[in-house]
Amino acid sequence: MKKSIVSLIISIFIFGVSYSQDYSYDKKIGAENAKQVPLTMGIYNDSVLSAYVTSVGQRLVKQVDNVPLDFNFHIVDMSEPNAFALPGGYIYVTRGVLSLVNDESELACIMGHEMIHAIERHSVKQMKKKILPGILQIPGAVVGAFNQNLGALISAPVQVGSALFLSSYSRSQEKEADRLGVDLAAKAGYDPSKLAVMLESIQKDVETLTGEEEKKSYFSSHPFTPKRVSYLEKEVDKLEWKPNEPVAGNKEELYSLLKGLCYADNPVQGVFKDNQFLHPDMGFTITFPDKWETQNIPVAVGAMQPDGGAQVLLQLADTVADPDSLGIDFVNKFKKKYKQSPKENKHIDINGNPGYMVMLNDNSSGKSVDMFLYWIRMNDIIYNISGLGYTQYSDTIQSCVQSFRHLTEDEKKGITSLNLDFALANEGETIDAFSKRTNNKWSEEITAIMNGLEKGEVLKDGQYLKIAVEIPYISIK
């Protein structure tokens, strides 16, 4: 993270400045990027929980003076604990963050922090300094055109993510979001000391899940250091506040809102078992090459060779036409535009599913690059699989496509989800004994983090604790 003198000057300048600013640019950028969120990250489908998050957010909005922003609040269907703001007042919390909440004030403080980023236009200021990264650094004339059509989808989260929400805010911007965020929460009657509690839970959770300190996720943009805690403590000490009755009256009510919340992968989006992707609702599976980095977003699933030398991407075609006619139509357009023929194009059969494949080759950069396009029909849906990479990866790409097939009944039955539930502890019980008795699937460490406990803590009678239960996924089909 670089800190330039310019950003320091800007943040000193906005320090304490009134909120009356022109937000029309923010609103435009925010609205454009907000459209990408459902496509690239997914919005979690739980109307009751969404309404709750909005209610907490609206309490904070009431305390904001003279900011002509229409704040709106959303739950992102991601297991990583994260929260982010888009310019213009789009505030997002992931289900991963919600699963950590033990007190409404924790949620309010995180949302307050993000609202300040939007109010103070932090990402708009950062954005001007950012350059969008390319997704796949494979050169070539035809590749460029190909990538524009097919790479657009998978590059979207990378572009949106690194250009905007997860852009590294400057340290002074973070400080400001912390300071004004807890102030906002306190004004709305929330305990401002809970921001530090929440940040610590997020940090512990991320470290446990990734086995690394402050990897990606929340902490690449939100460094949480002892310095930040002591700064927060000082700020919180200065605040005078009167507690307000929470939207969810008490802990049981809060927990009943969180009950059933999906933890880890949500099977609705399909799940990975190592590099095998299984989609229970659509009834297909595909196995991506070993050790390739996989990515699953609502509009596509794919994998990339770790050095960026090749990628495979599967998405739905927005058509029900016959694969042969789609393929032949593409070939004709390609010939017309590039005045050359594909290296290969033919009708195919992939595990009983009819399809059409086109292979293109591009040597214009001096290195041979192959491109594959497949249209495959399964259950009256057309799947588009595209592969792009240096020729040395062509066999790998093709055998990946050959793994596309129907899910077996056993595979379907084997798909489960972890859902939040709650149970009462007995006097003197250890976390391990409690977990065994209640069928809690979390480790002792995770159980402690999720409940704000210390590892090895002895439980008390009637203590109401979060657990994760594993239930078979019932496909909507």
- What is the contact surface with Zn ion in residues (CB under 5 A)? 177, 222
Least CB distance from residue 87 to Zn ion, whole Å?
A: 14
Q: Which residue is nearest to Zn ion (CB)?
A: 177
Least CB distance from residue 286 to Zn ion, whole Å?
A: 37
Q: What is the DSSP letter of 292?
A: P
Q: Is 294 left (phi over 0), alpha (psi -120 to 50) or beta?
A: beta
Q: CA end-to-end span of the chain, whole Å?
A: 47
Record the tokens describing residue 353, joined without a space: 């599913």
β-bridge partners, 267: none
Question: Are 272 and 265 a contacting pair, CB within 8 Å?
Answer: yes
**Rounded Cα–Cα distance for residues 87 and 117 (Å):** 8
All residues at 6 or more sequence positions from 190 whose CB lies less than 8 Å from its CB, including other chains: 59, 104, 105, 108, 109, 112, 241, 243, 244
Query: Toward Zn ion, which CB reaches closer, 179 or 412?
Result: 179
Question: Are 135 and 148 a contacting pair, CB within 8 Å?
Answer: no
**Sign of dihedral through CA atoms 179, 185, 188, 192?**
negative
Least CB distance from residue 335 to Zn ion, whole Å?
A: 51
**Sign of dihedral through CA atoms 183, 187, 192, 195?**
negative
**Sign of dihedral through CA atoms 70, 125, 83, 101?**
negative
Closest residue by Cα to residue 361 from 338, 342, 340: 342
Query: Toward Zn ion, which CB reaches closer, 103 or 176?
Result: 176
Query: Toward Zn ion, which CB reaches closer, 91 or 177?
Result: 177
Least CB distance from residue 232 to Zn ion, whole Å?
A: 12
Neighbours of 77 (CB within 10 A): 22
Strands 72-76 and 369-378: unpaired
Least CB distance from residue 116 to Zn ion, whole Å?
A: 8
Query: Toward Zn ion, which CB reaches closer, 121 or 222?
Result: 222
Least CB distance from residue 248 to Zn ion, whole Å?
A: 25
Least CB distance from residue 173 to Zn ion, whole Å?
A: 7
Least CB distance from residue 104 to Zn ion, whole Å?
A: 20
Closest residue by Cα to residue 188 from 243, 232, 107, 236: 243
Q: Which helix (H) or strand (E) holds 225?
A: none
Query: Toward Zn ion, which CB reaches closer, 206 or 304?
Result: 206
Query: Toward Zn ion, which CB reaches closer, 180 or 313?
Result: 180
**Rounded Cα–Cα distance for residues 86 and 298 (Å):** 19
Query: Toward Zn ion, which CB reaches closer, 109 or 177?
Result: 177
Least CB distance from residue 73 to Zn ion, whole Å?
A: 16
Query: Toward Zn ion, which CB reaches closer, 109 or 312?
Result: 109
Least CB distance from residue 449 to Zn ion, whole Å?
A: 21
Query: Toward Zn ion, which CB reaches closer, 170 or 305?
Result: 170
**Sign of dihedral through CA atoms 247, 180, 176, 15?**
positive
Least CB distance from residue 121 to Zn ion, whole Å?
A: 13
CA dist 289 → 152, 274, 275, 423 (Å): 22, 10, 7, 41
Query: Toward Zn ion, which CB reaches closer, 110 or 268?
Result: 110
Query: Toward Zn ion, which CB reaches closer, 222 or 377?
Result: 222
